[in-house]
Structure 1
Amino acid sequence: MKHIEEVPEEEIHSKRSIYIPHLAVIREGKETTSTRVVFDASCKGSNGISLNDELLLGPVLQGDLRSLLMRWRMHAVCFVSDIEKMYRMILIAKEDKDFQRVLWRDNPDEPIKDYRLLTVTFGTASAPYLAIKTLVQLSIDEGENYPIATRIIQEDFYVDDVLSGCDNVENAIAAAKELKYLLQQGGFQLKKWSSNNAEFMRSIKPSERSSNVHLDLNIDGTTKALGIAWNLRTDKFEYNSSTHSESMNITKRSILSDIQKLYDPLGWIASLLVMTKIFIQRLWMEKYSWDEEISQSLIDEWRTIKRDFKNVNGIRIDR
């Protein structure tokens, strides 16, 4: 896909460069990209400085998550989608590509080779700004003939996720088509479409629908809207608490992992999350290391809190 190229041998030592460590992260339960490569641009070199130390973050260009979610829920016909490989669709300047070098080989028997990444790279400090700025600039450069899509790009996107809608299905279908056309001018493709309206979903190619959407006579399925579970049939938000097994060692790491699975940007389950945050504070005060098993009294207290997690599975947030 021309996202990466091998560094010519004569350029390996002749140009200033930075090498970024990388590792694979397995993302269970994801309908696309079950394995994602994570680049550590915060890793410091022999001089004690990392690439991210030298990069500017850029200004905030999009509204906050809470406002976006609440505005989205005002539409009678809601839809969500995301841009496929958004960062990877944006080339960086040629003079900067040697600051995104990586080492790679296909198997341990081959010699290690030098490569450089040619696109915006997840893990660099400037990546979110660069991606969002490119999207906004696209709406400015190409948006004259797509007024509805221009507004959606500038108001209804959160990084690569769009959450928008209209008052009726005809307008929603027209808005989605216009949005797809405008994004295609910049090489962006929208995938994993979901909606609370079956007629809208029938207007979307099956290959572009979320695999969590089931269309028969009615719409069914549960998908994620900015990390929140959205039941398409009932058109309600719900929670799905899945935590680590009781049999595994209970450590600061496993507890934090369980807590982070309860994503609640609008504060609907704040009473439970406040308890977990107080408990985490106690773990820090006790100075436990990340993988050290905690005391039995704290284990008992954590299990009591954890049992309460299951109760959030019954919470439904109506429109």
Structure 2
Amino acid sequence: MQEFPLSSKYIRTDMYVDNVVCSVPSLAEAQNLYSELVGLFKAGGFDLLKWCTNDCGVLWNQIPQNAWSLQKVEFNDNSDMHASSKVLGLKWNDISDTFSFSINIPEQTNSKHKILSTVARIWDPLGFLAAVT
């Protein structure tokens, strides 16, 4: 891990299942992190794919096009007109750099059991909704 100090830090704090989801303070750090992550995972025999960023310069200038995440999701909730990426069950709008949730509430007679069942289906690994749920 001494070869890849920046990426090993982010892997310990910002890796969820098989996704590395993080924010960095500068373009230079983003470029360095990309290089380190690719090198570290390649040393383990893994190819990192489905890269997504809100900085087109990093995407176009550094990341090979075959590694881009081209899977945009239309959520049909009219909250934004831009297709978002799905990250850890959340909607991430790379233009506004915002996360949002889409929760389907079935039309049915409410009962304590049905409300608890609906709340239990909300997947929030980062705890954004913890105060509400």
Q: With structure 2 as the length reference, what TM-score do the two structures score?
A: 0.69
Structure 1: distance between partners of 2:130 and 2:55: 25
Which residue identity is paired with 1:198? Answer: C
Alignment match, 2:22: 164
Shift in CA distance, 268/238, structure 1 to aligned 2, threshold 3 Å: farther
Which residue identity is paired with 1:266? Answer: F
Structure 2: distance between partners of 1:233 and 1:197: 9
Alignment match, 1:256: 117
Alignment match, 2:78: none
Matched, 1:191 2:49: yes
Structure 2: distance between partners of 1:225 and 1:209: 14
Using the TM superposition, give the Cα deviation of residue 194 of structure 1 relative to its aligned residue in structure 2, in angstroms: 1.4
Higher RCO, Cα 8 Å, sep 6+: 1
Alignment match, 1:299: none
Alignment of 1:140-151 (within 5 A): 143-151=1-9
Alignment match, 1:225: 87
Shift in CA distance, 209/242, structure 1 to aligned 2, threshold 3 Å: farther
Which residue identity is paired with 2:123? Answer: Y
Q: Return 5+ residue gaps in structure 2 as ranges.
A: 73-81
Matched, 1:173 2:31: yes
- TM-superposition CA deviations, 1:213-261 (whole Å, max 9, x none): 5xxxxxx6412332221111111111223355x59xxxx79x836851x
Structure 2: distance between partners of 1:154 and 1:165: 14
Alpha-carbon RMSD: 2.7
The structure having more radius of gyration, on CA atoms, is 1
Question: Would the aligned equivalents of 1:157 and 1:163 in 2 still touch at CA under 8 Å?
Answer: yes
Q: Return 5+ residue gaps in structure 1 as ranges.
A: 1-142, 214-219, 274-319
Question: Would the aligned equivalents of 2:7 and 2:33 in 1 still touch at CA under 8 Å?
Answer: yes
Structure 2: distance between partners of 1:241 and 1:166: 29
Which residue identity is paired with 1:157? Answer: M
Using the TM superposition, give the Cα deviation of residue 179 of structure 1 relative to its aligned residue in structure 2, in angstroms: 0.8
Alignment of 1:99-178 (within 5 A): 143-178=1-36
Question: Would the aligned equivalents of 1:221 and 1:232 in 2 still touch at CA under 8 Å?
Answer: no
Question: Would the aligned equivalents of 2:90 and 2:102 in 1 still touch at CA under 8 Å?
Answer: no
Question: Would the aligned equivalents of 1:223 and 1:229 in 2 still touch at CA under 8 Å?
Answer: yes
Greater strand fraction, Structure 1 or Structure 2: 1
Using the TM superposition, give the Cα deviation of residue 268 of structure 1 relative to its aligned residue in structure 2, in angstroms: 6.1
